[in-house]
């Protein structure tokens, strides 16, 4: 496979064209950002770890009937993906109150939600990725009502699967972000990545008064040992996949 020009560089990945217009190469970076890129840094080995975790989870989801953009991983920090038109939405699924949900609602950290909450954010750095109502989403023509229904259904399916998968890893899935894209046939596919960068993960062995954070919150909140936490998540994912096989 020949790699051609750089098409896009984001906070965590670089996308390259290939000799097949239907296939792109995603290169995962070690760069780390938080608070809409106001905080910047680097996490050693993050690109390799996030690519490996995402690859394993995409394969597990594909086997579970969820269609994704994943094709294969030719190198530890690289993923070949189907070319899709990314919908400018960040879809956040919440199971436990944390982060902005606590800040905006006053819910205590760690409150278990009676049912999963699906939220839509406008994927726009200049505006700070604002929370959207469905009416605003339709007003801005970011997705059709049918696409929003499909995305919501898929997000809840993915959440149900991931809750159980992370439980096998001894990890509690607090919340996570998804992105979706449209392929050449306008079919909605899960895209981007699923990793400690995009999930809030707590060690299930710890109690509420002593939560052990295993995700990018360690970077956001200067908790230290970020690389160790990411590496631990990868090892737990690999063990869970191997035990399933």
pLDDT tens digits, one per residue of 19-66: 999 999 999 999 888 766 667 888 889 999 999 999 999 999 999 999
**Residue partners of 214: CB distance under 8 A and separation at least 6:** 171, 196, 201, 202, 203, 229, 230, 232, 233
Q: Which residues pair with 28 in a beta bridge?
A: 13
Same domain flag for 78 and 90: no
Q: Kindly report the CATH number assigned to the domain that includes residue 49.
A: 3.30.200.20
pLDDT of residue 43: 87
pTM of the entire predicted model: 0.94
Q: For residues 213 and 99, what is the distance between their CA atoms, to the nearest angstrom?
A: 13
Q: Are 138 and 145 in contact (CB under 8 A)?
A: yes
Contact 230/44 with Cβ under 8 angstroms?
Answer: no
What proportion of the chain, given as a percentage, has pLDDT over 70? 95
Do 128 and 30 lie in a common domain? no
Q: Is 158 domain-assigned?
A: yes
Query: 99-113 pLDDT, tens per residue?
Result: 999 999 999 999 999
**For residue 222, what is the DSSP state?**
T
> How high is the pLDDT of residue 1?
56
- Clarify whether residues 170 and 54 are in a common domain: no
* Residue 181: CATH number of its domain: 3.30.470.20
Domain extent for 145: 85-226+237-244
Identify the H or E element spanning 238: helix 226-244
pLDDT tens for each residue of 122-133: 999 899 999 999
- pLDDT tens per residue, range 131-187: 999 999 999 999 999 999 999 999 999 999 999 999 999 999 999 999 999 999 999
Residues 213 and 107 in one domain: yes
Number of domains in the chain: 2
């Amino acid at each position: 496979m020949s790699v051609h020009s750089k098409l896009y560089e984001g906070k965590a990945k670089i996308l390259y064209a290939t000799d097949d217009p239907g296939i792109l190469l995603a290169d995962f970076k070690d760069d780390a950002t938080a608070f809409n890129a106001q905080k910047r840094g680097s996490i050693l080995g993050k690109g390799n770890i996030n690519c490996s975790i995402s690859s394993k989870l995409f394969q597990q989801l594909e086997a579970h009937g969820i269609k994704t953009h994943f094709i294969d991983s030719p190198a530890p920090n690289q993923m070949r993906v189907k070319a899709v038109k990314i919908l400018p939405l960040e879809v956040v699924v919440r199971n436990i109150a944390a982060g902005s949900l606590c800040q905006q609602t006053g819910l205590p950290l760690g409150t278990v939600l009676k049912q999963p909450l699906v939220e839509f954010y406008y994927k726009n750095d200049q505006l700070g990725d604002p929370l959207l109502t469905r009416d605003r989403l339709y007003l801005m023509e970011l997705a059709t009502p049918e696409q929003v229904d499909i995305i919501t259904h898929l997000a809840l399916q993915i959440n149900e699967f991931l809750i159980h998968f992370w439980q096998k890893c001894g990890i509690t899935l607090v919340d996570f972000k998804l992105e979706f894209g449209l392929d050449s046939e306008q079919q909605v596919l899960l895209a981007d990545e699923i990793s400690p960068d995009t999930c809030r993960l707590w060690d299930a062995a710890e109690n509420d008064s002593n939560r052990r954070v295993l995700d990018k919150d360690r970077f956001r909140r200067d908790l230290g040992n970020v690389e160790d936490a990411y590496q631990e998540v990868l090892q737990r994912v690999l063990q869970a996949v191997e035990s399933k096989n």
